[in-house]
């Protein structure tokens, strides 16, 4: 965390000078007064300025992005991050080459990075921040794949009159399957098993 010590005729002057030096706003700094100003003898001799320490309060999203960039550097990847406000929080979409390493099998590495980015962000936030991490719109493509899969498997259940048990999925992916078939006229879904092996089951109504 960035800290600076600044002097000024008054505490207020010192704080303002420090804020200007940090190029930030008053609500982004924590102030500790190190020395109060004193007028000295007869108000002239031995006068002392106020001295304050300003600590820059980290921004949650900045810290999350900094964490991710450190991960990318360790993996020797050049990645840019785009921020976007979405319905339930903030989307950080990563762009670059070799992003398959960051996505992992069925998005498992991406989910793990998202979990860690949320921990880092909320460590520095006074209110809860929800970050969704994506890589070149992988989640959008994955959701479309899962929705198509749900429809195909529902048709198989109708034809065979036998239930279908899907492979283990994350809670996020299970929700996609449930949501796609929740209004289906002939099949219904439920989940069974314990994490991380919890699965969606599609059965006739």
Residue 191 belongs to domain spanning: 141-204
Q: How many domains does the chain contain in total?
A: 3
Burial class from Cβ neighbours inside 10 Å (0-12, 13-18, 19+) for residue 181 reads buried
Are 101 and 153 within one domain?
no
Instruction: Give the burial string for 36-62 (b: 16+ CB within 10 Å, else e).
Output: ebeeeeeeeeeeebbbbbbbbebebbe
Share of the chain above pLDDT 90, in %: 54
**pLDDT for the residue 58:** 75
**pLDDT for the residue 40:** 65
Residue 45, token pair as written in the block: 């001799």
Angstrom CA distances, 50 to 7, 8, 39, 53, stand at 5, 5, 11, 10
Rg of the chain, C-alpha, whole Å? 27
Residue 132: closest CA among 169, 91, 104, 167 = 91
Tens of pLDDT along 80-103? 999 998 888 899 999 988 888 899
- List the CATH number of the domain containing 50: 3.30.30
Helix axes 171-181, 138-160, angle to 10 degrees: 50
Residue ending a domain, among 116, 136, 156, is 136
Residue ending a domain, among 105, 136, 167, is 136
Are 67 and 124 within one domain?
yes
Are 153 and 116 within one domain?
no
Are 50 and 18 within one domain?
yes
Q: Note the pTM of the prediction, 2 decimals.
A: 0.67
Are 73 and 98 within one domain?
yes
Q: Where are the alpha helices (DSSP H) in 35-170?
A: 60-74, 100-103, 108-123, 138-160
**pLDDT for the residue 93:** 94
The dihedral built from the CA positions of residue 171, 173, 174 and 176, taken in this order, carries a sign that is: positive
- List the CATH number of the domain containing 179: 3.30.1370.50
Residue 149: closest CA among 123, 181, 125, 193 = 181
**pLDDT for the residue 109:** 92
Are 78 and 123 within one domain?
yes
Tens of pLDDT along 142-198? 999 999 999 999 999 999 999 999 999 888 899 999 999 999 999 999 999 998 899
Are 117 and 175 within one domain?
no
> Token match 């493509």: residue?
141
Are 68 and 99 within one domain?
yes
**pLDDT for the residue 155:** 96
Residue ending a domain, among 108, 136, 164, is 136
Q: Report the C-alpha gap between 179 and 105 in whole angstroms.
A: 23
Residue 115 pLDDT class (50, 70, 90 cuts): very high
Residue 45 pLDDT class (50, 70, 90 cuts): low
pLDDT at 114 over 90: yes
Q: Report the C-alpha gap between 202 and 166 in whole angstroms.
A: 8
**pLDDT for the residue 74:** 92
- List the CATH number of the domain containing 117: 3.30.300.20
pLDDT at 44 over 80: no
Angstrom CA distances, 113 to 15, 41, 107, 116, stand at 37, 61, 10, 5
Are 99 and 151 within one domain?
no
Are 73 and 123 within one domain?
yes
pLDDT at 1 over 90: no
Share of the chain above pLDDT 70, in %: 96
Are 199 and 159 within one domain?
yes
Are 151 and 172 within one domain?
yes
């Amino acid at each position: 965390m960035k800290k600076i010590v600044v002097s000024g005729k008054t505490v207020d002057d010192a704080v303002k000078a420090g804020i200007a030096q940090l190029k930030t706003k008053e609500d982004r700094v924590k102030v500790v007064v190190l020395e109060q100003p004193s007028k000295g003898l007869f108000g002239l001799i031995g006068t002392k300025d106020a001295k304050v320490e300003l600590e820059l309060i980290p921004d949650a999203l900045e810290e999350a992005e900094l964490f991710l960039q450190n991960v990318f550097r360790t993996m020797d990847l050049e990645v840019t991050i785009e921020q976007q406000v979405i319905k339930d929080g903030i989307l950080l979409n990563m762009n670059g080459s070799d992003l398959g390493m960051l996505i992992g099998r069925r998005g498992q590495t991406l989910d793990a990075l998202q979990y860690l980015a949320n921990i880092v962000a909320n460590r520095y936030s006074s209110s809860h921040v929800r970050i969704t991490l994506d890589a070149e719109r992988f989640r959008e493509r994955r959701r479309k794949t899962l929705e198509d899969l749900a429809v195909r498997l529902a048709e198989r259940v109708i034809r065979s009159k036998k239930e279908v048990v899907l492979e283990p999925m994350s809670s996020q992916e299970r929700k996609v399957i449930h949501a796609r078939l929740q209004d289906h006229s002939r099949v219904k879904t439920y989940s069974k098993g314990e994490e991380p092996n919890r699965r969606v089951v599609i059965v006739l109504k």
